[in-house]
Structure 1
């Protein structure tokens, strides 16, 4: 009966209310009035697909206002006061203010109401610490780096110059491209590319930025591009605004950097408006497909919002959005959840293609047209389908200078920057003459020693200032011969940190960077290393070596034992202080014997007065007696006559016996044990494998030997022992062995 009454009451309430679905308001800030009808039609179409009887979407729209304050007030009064669940916002195509959607994002974001951007491309909106609830159906300009990266791989360009404006957009593009390059490099570290020529090795390793050049309004663009012109790379990627790009093109044309051999890769901003009027022929640019089709983006955004609201209604209890801004500081509790649902939504059948969002709320899998600027016209020569570049083989690209063949992307410089290291006898470093020249010297055979000027830190001056110095030696002779044979000029400098090159962790992170000569070569500070650099697996993965001019293995340097003289060996049983005390004791005892025998009154007492009185010891006789007792030579005459002197003589004889016995025993022990120390037999010598605390051995820090010991697991015990004793240079290590 109760169940029946409840059913009757429910039916009555439905009849009274009509069981109407919940009204869900969707707001929009559109660029023009004509798009308001497009928005309403999109909402009507979404109601036919989504919601069914649970909710009904209602469209509430306004157009952009002249300034930010009016726009924020309009959002509060016209949209938030109507309790909108989400706000769509476009970017006026003719507006020079790229931050037009900012008032909408700030105002709605304060209440955590999701904002869906339609045509906003600026990278600042990816920063979720500023734009809390913002997502968009277009990618930011910085995502064009993915297309640039794929184009570099498509055309096998491995050396690029990146020129970016010193603003948020330029830095975002730089960061995105550098991340892609680092990821590619990390993947290739595990691969073995030995026995490849340089071109094949570069193709396998992938592209890398030879130089990143930033510029601002105050930058001298001519000087900046001159710096780029001196580099080997001829592929230039530009990220800048229309006005800045136009200025760069003008400066590049003045420096003849838009002709044959050069490649210019740009984005959408750099080939539109003012920039396009100054763009050089052969330019390769990008254009987002449907990027400015506001109608298509409105339809896709409404569909994504409707789909997400349906998912939200099925799973969660939704609280009401805030009503108005005046006196209301409470955020919408369901807002963050709704934003997460929106960002995880997938709409594969959109008018602009598949609609998905990444963790920053930016559009994924965007499609681009790849355009070639030919005779003042933009010709599509390929597309980027969201994952890879697909070129149109039916349309040939016209490259800068009117070339039809793909440029190599680099040029070989005839003036090379050579880095070397002070390592005798391969490279000697001496100061220059007062006039800045090198002193001429001859070898013992009368051959002139060839010297070159090399800049580098002076080790003999505090602070190690960078000064010109004279370098010569085997490696310098080799460099001079190479330059004559290969027809190039050079400038030589010493490595700044004095190291050959090894990988070190950066700030205790997992990222590793090369230091020393390896770091300068890979960082573009040098074109070639001419030094006694050992070939190992780690280095061979990054650079190409010539045929080694010297083959050598591991050599162990020990101090040469100095042979001891035979006379010296007889003195070894006693220390020098003991020898001095024994010699002093002999003479002291002799003097005491003389005095006692001369002045003792008991020595003159005679039992029989008729006997002849013995003569007292003279000083020389006492000395003879003292030495005779010590050396056990026997005393025939000249013995002391007094009782006290004889007692002293007996004590001295006992002492002499102990001294002689100790000396004889120690001498025998020294002669038996005095064998030369066994030589180190090699790396497997027990003294190296199981070292004692007093047995010290070491090598040069961050050298090839240091890398070898660090890499070999079976030598880990040896490496731990030697690591704390390693030296900064070979000269220091050799001197330490000499001073041992």
Structure 2
């Protein structure tokens, strides 16, 4: 039998490789961090099993439930043994420590376990032999597998420098106590136990070397068991998971140094949750009821096919209710062979959140039933109860919700949220004016009352021009001096319109002084009107291409809205909850313009 640990033939030496005692300490720290009190052992190295079990008992309180020794079998023999003794695998329970196995032998063990009917994802597997970062592979290995290895090992030159410094420090310390023993000898033999006159210089110097420790170039340098110099070693613990694209990848979950394990909390919690909480007794997959809400681009819906299936996406129900009894009956009918669910209730849900749900169900794993929230709302505290998604979760109608669901303080007090998968913020959208101006856009520069006043004044001016001309002895009337032409009301209208629009047309001018004075007043009035119209027309045409400018949520236009200025948000959304809590007066004004959903 190969001993667990060989004794060095040298009395005093420095060792770079990890001792079996240290490897056991690392493994025990990892197992205890997972909360395990016992483990199963698959041994691939030809060690003395009884000696290893004794070492394990001395260094750990964990109970070894089952020991499967493959150390004396070659690769073909191990494969044959594993296939012939599948019941030994079926007797295993989680976790399983695979010790002394390289990756090739470990793959054989995983393959044999799979062939014997075990689901690898149902077990926690730990590779007990240290690996380097370059040796880590993912092919043929189960998700959730734990591995570890030494990192940041300094080069040999630094080890030699620390060894020389250790000897120098020991000699300096010994010289201060007995310079005659430490410095006067030209040759020192550490095996000399005694010499004439007392203790040998070699034994005297070895005592000082055994008690010397310092922080060198390789870290903390100290002497173990008075004979072994071991530099500080650091180990990295990895877990096999998935990256953002779903490909297997190794993730660092902790670091072991100076006898303690420092965990990466986020990655470690993700590793511990790898075994699905939805696994029921006997490994059965639990079926969860999931509620969603249509919100583009996270969740889309379309009509199901004629046979009620969804070639793409997930089949979901849209019954328009949150009654748990009704939903139970509908899903029971949906799962029955001859069940009939109204086709109007069947939808195909797809989108970013649905893809996340499918991936989550695959990784955890679990089955799910999907339906759309009955009232179409996210959830708010209203009339003494929660509505929408939050209400369905609190009432137990749904086990979880998957959609674009904003996290706020009120909701966080009653339900739990996962880590955000998409970060967003509230914003204000301003509607731009129509780019295609209507046919009556030329009248925009002046108010309609101004247009009415202008044309009323025009006709009144024409009327008075006619009256003045006919009452004057010099007017162009049948009774005036010039009887060949007559200045009628139509002549006055023609003159006033020509002056207003600035067009030179053939027109008759009044002959009396009063009429001419009134005509000049009308011309001055028309000049002022045209100047104002032209200036306003330019401003209106420029403003037609712009939008309402808002500086933010504290803009006076929002807090003191003018007549006709409208703004709103989605009913019972996180935005409405925020405005209701922070700006109650603004919320009171905008309530009439809120909409049930976004277009």
TM-score, length basis structure 2: 0.38
